[in-house]
Amino acid sequence: MYTGKLVFSQVIDHMPLHTFRQCVQRYDGNHKIKSFTCLDQFLCMAFAQLTYRESLRDIEACLRAQRHKLYHMGIRGGISRNTLANANKVRDWRIYADFAQSLIQIARRLYVEEGFAVDLDNTTYALDASTIDLCLSLFPWAPARRTKAAVKLHTLLDLRGNIPTFIHISDGKLHDVNVLDILVPEPGAFYIMDRGYLDFARLYRLVLLGAFFLIRAKSNTQYRRLYSQPVDRSTGLIFDQIIVLTGARTPRYYPEKLRCIKYYDATTEKTFTFLTNNFSLPALTIADLYRCRWQVELFFKWIKQHLRIKVFFGTSENAVKSQIWIAVSVYVLVAIIRKRLKIDASLYTILQVLSLTVFERIPLNQIVTDSDYKSDQPETSIQLNLFD
């Protein structure tokens, strides 16, 4: 029988604890704290994410039922609903945001060779935002409309491995395009966006910093064709043109040439018009590249279904942001484990298995396989042999 670490402890072993302590120290997170540290808070919230807990009372009941295993899980402080609620309210959410970013850097190095639908050497990102609806009376700090509250997750997703590299949490009023002012573009990278991000002044900033963008044009975009390039209409391409903008103000905001590609998707029976500042890739590759933007939509759908970011354990801004960043940390940590242990199963499968086995003593690389675990230690018996 395997008598090693708990599955939960094996998951936490993949955390860079030194980096976590640096994040805590950076924001003085453990100041005047004696028993329930920031690490205890993180582990309790990570447990809630892995096991799909619904409330603070739920977390408290489950962990107290296994109190003899808490020390082996790394939790040193006493478990109390009020203590955890207060920690979520007052501990600086930037501790967990910085730690999530450190995990993201580790994951990106592991997935750097990961392929995706388009054979492209450039780093490729999909940018989009997703809204989480809230009650205005409980979350007055996050207004969205006159009678509604919400938070928005503005996310930049690396399409190699579907790792979120940038997340900005705002109230529901912040327009998606404003995130381009916060984003630090990576030279040579592709940024794929929907037409909600169509702002030529902000897009020109990407050009000046050496990045490429791919975005859908709006129906009222005014431009003049300079010349057309040949296309194979049997592939769904309608035209591939080099254009300049001719609107009242847009030529001043974006004074350079653009590439305009029109494409008919036979699967959805829709016609798309793309704008990009890349003039070297084939037109069909550009169309295929935009299709990959759907990965960020699937990412939002996935985390809303399988992580606890729609029901919050606190109503303050700090509690909500802390919970979201810890959820992101858990997602990225599972992605790191999947790559390090060379597990073929999907993240969904791994999370489902972890939710049932966090208190078990099974080797982590065995829990998602169909084979039974067999100890490498030879079997020994305390029964004496009468015939020696």
Higher-scoring residue by pLDDT: 376, 178 = 178
> Residue 63's closest CA among 77, 79, 51?
79
pLDDT of residue 77: 81
Task: Give per-residue pLDDT as tens, 62-114.
Answer: 999 998 999 999 998 888 999 999 999 999 999 999 999 999 999 999 998 88
> Residue 129's closest CA among 180, 163, 94, 92?
180
Higher-scoring residue by pLDDT: 388, 6 = 6
Q: What is the pTM for the complete model shown?
A: 0.88
Contact 187, 134 (CB under 8 A): no
Task: Give per-residue pLDDT as tens, 332-350.
Answer: 999 999 999 988 888 888 8
pLDDT of residue 217: 93
Q: Given pLDDT bands bounded at 50, 70 and 90, which one contains residue 131? A: very high
User: What phi, psi does 162 have (nearest 5°)?
Assistant: 55, 50
pLDDT of residue 285: 92
Q: Is the pLDDT of residue 287 over 80?
A: yes
> Residue 171's closest CA among 141, 129, 148, 137?
141
C-alpha triplet 132, 192, 157: angle, nearest 5°? 50
pLDDT of residue 3: 66
Distance CA 144, CA 135 (A): 10
What do you get for the CA distance between the two ends of the chain, in Å?
Answer: 28
Task: Give per-residue pLDDT as tens, 210-269.
Answer: 999 999 999 899 999 999 999 999 999 999 999 999 988 899 999 999 999 999 998 888
Contact 5, 11 (CB under 8 A): no
- What architecture is domain 195-291? 2-Layer Sandwich (3.30)
Q: What is the domain partition of the chain in residue ranges?
A: 7-95+310-366, 195-291
Q: Token pair for residue 288?
A: 């295929």
pLDDT of residue 381: 47
Q: Is the pLDDT of residue 385 over 80?
A: no
Q: Is the pLDDT of residue 274 over 80?
A: yes
The overall average pLDDT reported for the chain is 89
pLDDT of residue 115: 77
Task: Give per-residue pLDDT as tens, 355-369.
Answer: 889 999 888 888 876
pLDDT of residue 37: 93
Distance CA 65, CA 61 (A): 6
